[in-house]
Amino acid sequence: MTHTDDINDPQDRGRRTPRRAVPRWLPLPLGIGIGLLGGIGYGLVATPQYAATSYVMVVPRQGTDSPTALGFAQAYGRIVTGSAVLAGAQAATHTAAGDLKSHVQAATSPDAPMISVTGSSSKAGTAASIANGVARSLAATGNRDSDSTGVRLLLFSPAAAPAAPSSPSAALSGAVGASAGGLLGALVLLVRPRREEDAAHPARTPLPSPSAAPSAAPSASASPSSSEPRPERAAV
């Protein structure tokens, strides 16, 4: 086969012309775009949630010190979502105790004898009603044993209807989704093996130069003569 035939060989042409592979950085913008669209869609479809918080303070009675009141505040904070407290809030909130439990959260402070009661709902007024109803029920439950505990529970700050939802907006949801998608795309780039890129761009086979081809002919023709056996000398 001549040098010209070697260049025109279709197999050699296909070997020297690599396929156009998918860009290695594609997962990053793809993940950002998918996350952005998913976050915006969630923010538009999800029902807005409102949250309202009321505060109950534990006050020591005569003969009781402040550390004792702080300890009782921690204890009462754990029973906010108990059946006794929620049952007392059913009438004020017009909600069953079983449904109230999923809409109420409580938190205590390690430095102050105060309990925060947060109510959540899809309506601002209902969220405030749940927070105030549960807080008043907690105060009433704790004051029944005030003589034995030495502390009293007071509704320190009632909840008001919130003006804005506490759930993230569509813009914030989109930003969070884009960040999460970008992070996943970056992780895909890190764990993606480089063998795919190497397979898409195979190494080119070097072609013999025209000047090297004729020079090999004399050596090839000389090799048979050198391999012929020489005649042995006759012994004298």
- Asked if the structure places residue 207 within a domain, the reply is no
If you ran DSSP here, which 8-state letter would residue 103 be given?
G
φ, ψ for residue 41 (rounded to 5)? -65, -40
Average confidence (pLDDT) over 161-185: 84
- Asked if the structure places residue 145 within a domain, the reply is yes
User: Is the distance from CB of 201 to CB of 21 less than 8 angstroms?
Assistant: yes
- For all residues of the chain together, what is the average pLDDT? 79
Q: Are residues 51 and 149 in the same domain?
A: yes
User: Is the distance from CB of 15 to CB of 205 less than 8 angstroms?
Assistant: yes
Pseudo-torsion of CA 93, 95, 97, 103, nearest 10°? -80
* Range name among 10-14, 45-49, 71-75, 128-132 with the lowest pLDDT average: 10-14
Q: Strands 151-157 and 50-60, how do they pair?
A: antiparallel
CB contact set of 47 (below 8 Å; sequence gap of 6+): 122, 167
Helix (H) or strand (E) holding 236: none
Domain that holds residue 32: 23-46+169-195
Q: Are residues 39 and 96 in the same domain?
A: no
Tell me how many domains the chain contains. Answer: 2
Written as six digits, the tokens of 181 are 């998608």
Q: Is the pTM of this model over 0.85?
A: no
Does 94 have pLDDT greater than 90? no
CB contact set of 106 (below 8 Å; sequence gap of 6+): 77, 78, 80, 81, 115, 116, 117, 118
- Asked if the structure places residue 101 within a domain, the reply is yes
Beta bridge partners, 151, equal 60
Q: How confident is the model at residue 103 (pLDDT cuts 50, 70, 90)?
A: very high
Q: Are residues 93 and 119 in the same domain?
A: yes
Q: Are residues 93 and 144 in the same domain?
A: yes
pLDDT (tens digit per residue) in 104-139: 999 999 899 999 999 999 899 999 999 999 999 999
- Asked if the structure places residue 66 within a domain, the reply is yes
Q: Strands 104-108 and 151-157, how do they pair?
A: unpaired
Does 220 have pLDDT greater than 50? no
Q: How confident is the model at residue 12 (pLDDT cuts 50, 70, 90)?
A: low
Q: Are residues 62 and 120 in the same domain?
A: yes
If you ran DSSP here, which 8-state letter would residue 163 be given?
S
Burial code (b: 16+ CB inside 10 Å, e: under 16) for 113-131 equals bbbbbbbbbeebebbbbbb
